[in-house]
Structure 1
């Protein structure tokens, strides 16, 4: 890829939902930002701010009314052939907050991780596909001996590792993490965030890390965008946002971070 071209370019994206006959909710208002290859971009805001809607728009789960979203030079907000849609889904993968509802309870880990390979690399020999599954399980910190277990047999952190493994099976260019640690205990959150940072280095992976927790977004991100009621209020490198915020809303997010007091 030409290093002068962003991996992802979002330009003037707006999206409204019709709430009733006479009322619309403006979820995204003229949003613009870009992401470089290998960069982790944090998108932070409170519940209902539009951050998850932005992630879903990039993943083509919702369709904005106006604007442009490009992956490298490929426009995503246009009519696509079935092959183009398939390529797009391979290049952009999403991890959701609740792995239990995102994973099939009737399938083993092996079946779930094989599915993306069947869809995108169907001609691979069976043994090569299974070996790829075992390798990916190791890379996300799961014992390959658990390949024939079902979702209910795992902890919440292990389930999220399965979700991450499934998303990475076809080596996507962009991983969107939508509140992917919010349902986990604090100690497990740290493990998953450190895993994501390690996978970024391993695969030169670009990520959008979506969260309401500015402290965790600061820890993992290279740059951060702050979003409120569909408006992108400020974008800067992570330290600038965290230590020298410009907007009052960003300052309020910082004040909301729990403080530990030693007695």
Structure 2
């Protein structure tokens, strides 16, 4: 039976470590979330983020703008935060209202304050094997692989999903850790067989229980990034959890696996951004240097 990777416990431990590091500083790292409109899921996430950030010692606040906010007004808010020396991290909460281009808002954030890791410059640094701010969910998945005791060097990793937010940066982090990486997706030919080749299987395709248990290689480590709500209200991942459980060496549950790591890694990014902006040593590089 697989080891259950408890994301809640790992996230709590990481937040505690961050709190210890912040308590030793002579300043409080500043984090600002820009939320536009009334998306209910965004409201829950932002409240949880504020609570976790404050408990860990961050100077955290949310700027909640009305649905009617124009793109130009949002970009002006971002510019003001870019110029504010007390702000170390800026997060533009997605989704934005339909009349505001998400890519314009993301590109407007100072890359040094882009704690979501979505700015094209940070994406390019990650793809080039250079240190930078990494998207929070893939970073959380890497923490969970460490929790599983995964031996990454030389391991065959399959990432199912190619989004800019999870799939592609996840593949880059695994490649930097010396895995042999395949990026697959919903249109990959013979996807089940590709999955069966994986020592490490990352599911980030956004389809409920698409990856069946017999797609999982015996002894593989399974990181399920998906979170999907079924018509009956249940939350499930992209992996058929009950089927995969007897086959995997370790697996993340949904909920309670990768999800709790996202906020913890947002805070980790914010601390690293704060230290880097002040020319201080960053404890752990967000992405290793590239190698042959």
Q: Give the TM-score of the pair, scaled to structure 1.
A: 0.29
Higher relative contact order (CA 8 A, sep 6+): 1
